[in-house]
Structures are given as structure tokens and as C-alpha cells.
Structure 1
């Protein structure tokens, strides 16, 4: 296939083409996270868990507290040493604290290998990550997008994505998760690029 993923996507979808005329071609893999970067997949996953359902500014403050408590390496062993109660005391919700402790436990036990997830397919990554308590499909898909830079990810459970579909295609109601997933199948194998355009349109 010649051209870029955006070339192929926009040639096939006039609505996305109209969005791109207004908003350009955003990088689907960019995620500022307040400028925070982590050296490991494990750290990146904890940053994504921290960011669930809160603003980036708040997430950065909480993540910085976690790093200060666990150490800049942010290893699974250090997180396990903190335990969910101390993580919660940093300001994270009970659910996020439990999720982080469980991710650390699974990593240490070898039940998952977060650092080598790049060798797995998208569905395998989602299955591995959602085995951890408190890690749902949305977090796993965001990890696929931002950390593993996969080109064909549409987080159909994201309310922004669903609102954007409703508005751009003038649908009578916000589509359900299943409806958004089915609707977005047309954009494969470049659903990450479609997602970036949909977010940009909000």
C-alpha cells in the first residue's frame, strides 16, 4: 500500500476527510501526560492507571508522588513494597492502589511480562493487561496506543470517541460501546488514526 495511513484512511472516508481539513493530521501516538515519560513499560502502565478518569494535571501530581515514594526506577518490587494502603495514602483511589499492587504482583510472579508485551498481538496485550485487577479494556487500549504505538486501536469505550461519532455522522444518539466498535471496523487497519481525528474534533 502506497502513501501514509492517513492517506488511505481519508481517501476512504469523506467524513474523516472533512475533520482532517479542519484539524489536520494529529499524531495518534502522542500523549503529553504533563511531559512525564517512563523508562519502562511497567512505569508507563502505572502512569496510564493513574490517569484513569481524572485530568492530566491531577494525574501528574499523583504520579510524581508515586515516583517519590517508590523511587525513580519505579520497579514492581518497589510498588509491591509500598502496598495498596500506602499507595492510596498518596492520594490515589482505593481501586487504583489495588490495581497497581496487583500489576506489581503479577509482574513479579511472572504471570505477565509487561516489558515484553511488544512481542504480543493487540488482543493478547489486552488479555494480559486486563488480567490485573482494575485494568479494563480502555486502559489496555491506551497503553497499546501510547506506549506500544499500535496503528489499529479504537477505544470504543471512550465516551469522547462515541460522542465524536455521533456528532460527525449526525446520529440520533450516542452509540453504545458495541455500536461504536462495529461502526469503527471500517477504519481498520488504521483505527488509531481515526481515533486521533475523532478526539481532535471534540
Structure 2
């Protein structure tokens, strides 16, 4: 899925004009290639986020697959009712920690009780209103909510200032001796509005070594 509710080309033009240093990063990395992850439902996306927390991608995928295998009838993915009806023993038996089990149960209850918006309703909420709804779920902090907005909904103006890798990337790109505090990064990112998601993605690419050779032509 690559469709956004904003124009990446327009975002890059804005960022180039707003921040010459970031323009050099854009030239080095190349085209904006963030790929949105499809979501069958808000419950499904948050359940996956909970399972994947603090694990390697490979380990998390294995555990998530085992959770799905507990509900072979759920061809479109397990539901809140599935989690509510499963025993603690079965959920712990596939590798879920107690904390993640409790988080999944809290998520399932809140969805069943309609305390959380549907995916369709979430799309209509502004960023801060949606984050406030999501962080009410046990195990979903602001960072997890921001990742949902960025990589599931494709929101253009999210700056996850608590993200360690983003702070590290900022320090490396802008040649800072120390990691910026979240407050410092927040102030620095004001010039990137309303496309701070795009700026964040470019900084992450530099940290991950995804820049192009200097001889390559700019996008």
C-alpha cells in the first residue's frame, strides 16, 4: 500500500525549502519510499503492535503466527471475541508474556465495549485526539500510537520525539555531540511542519545506511 492522504512530492519540496541541511539528506537517500502497512481493523493493528513490542521482528512474527494458529476459524484474523474466549494458559503457551496477555485482553475488552474507534472512525480523527484514544489501552504508549499513525494511516505530520533511533539520527545528521532531548527535537522539527513524518523517515534512512552514493543524481 503506497497511497497517502498527502503529496510526497509536495512534502519533499517543502522540506527542501524549509531546511537546507535536510535537503542534503533527501538528496543522499533518494525518493520517499515509505510503504504503509495494510490494516484489517484497528484491533488487528494494535494487537500486532502489542505482540511485536520489545522483540526482534523474527521472534515477534513467530509468536504472532502462533496466536493466529489458535483460531483457525478466523480466516480474516482473530477477533476481540477470540481473545476474550481464550484461556490464559493457551495464550501464554504460544509465547505471550503476562504483560502482553493482559494488554491484549484490555484491547479486546475496549474494542468490544466500543471505547475505541473503528479504523474508519480513526481516519476521521485528528492526530492528538486519536493518540489520546489509543494510549488508554494497556500496553499502548504514545510511541506505539505514533507508529500507528505514521505506518498504518500515513499521517503526514507525526514527529516521534521519544524515539531513540530518530534522536540518534538527528544527532548524526546535524553533527550534534549529544543526543537531543525530546524537547530539543520538538523545537528543531517545527520547521518541518506539516510534513514531519516525511522528515523523520529520511532521518531514519540515514541511520540505517540507506543513502545513495554521492555520484547518484538527486530525485
TM-score under structure 1 normalisation? 0.88
Query: What SS class does the counterpart of residue 201 from structure 1 fall into?
Result: helix
8 Å CA contact 1:5–1:190 kept in 2: the answer is: yes
Larger RCO, structures 1/2 (Cα 8 Å, 6+ apart): 2
Change (3 A) 1:85 1:121: farther
8 Å CA contact 2:168–2:179 kept in 1: the answer is: yes
2:108 equivalent to 1:75: no
| Counterpart mapping for 1:30-179 below 5 A | 30-31=36-37, 38-70=39-71, 71-72=74-75, 73-82=77-86, 85-115=89-119, 116-179=121-184
- What is the CA–CA distance in structure 2 between the aligned matches of 1:178 and 1:85, rounded to whole Å? 43
Q: 1:84 Cα shift?
A: 5.1
Q: 1:201 Cα shift?
A: 0.6
The structure having more radius of gyration, on CA atoms, is 2
2:15 equivalent to 1:9: yes
8 Å CA contact 1:83–1:101 kept in 2: the answer is: no
Query: What SS class does the counterpart of residue 149 from structure 2 fall into?
Result: helix
Change (3 A) 1:99 1:178: farther
- 2:217 maps to none
User: Which consecutive aligned stretches of 4+ in structure 1 deviate over 4 angstroms post-superposition?
Assistant: none
Change (3 A) 1:26 1:113: same
> How well do the aligned residues superpose, as a CA RMSD in angstroms?
2.1
Unmatched segments (≥5 aa) in structure 2: 1-6, 208-219
Q: 1:58 Cα shift?
A: 1.8
Of 128-137 and 44-53, the range deviating more from structure 2: 44-53
- 2:203 maps to 198
Unmatched segments (≥5 aa) in structure 1: 32-36
- 1:189 maps to 194
Specify which of 16, 24, 29 is matched with residue 18 of structure 1.
Answer: 24
8 Å CA contact 1:154–1:191 kept in 2: the answer is: yes
8 Å CA contact 1:26–1:200 kept in 2: the answer is: no
- What is the CA–CA distance in structure 2 between the aligned matches of 1:153 and 1:186, rounded to whole Å? 13
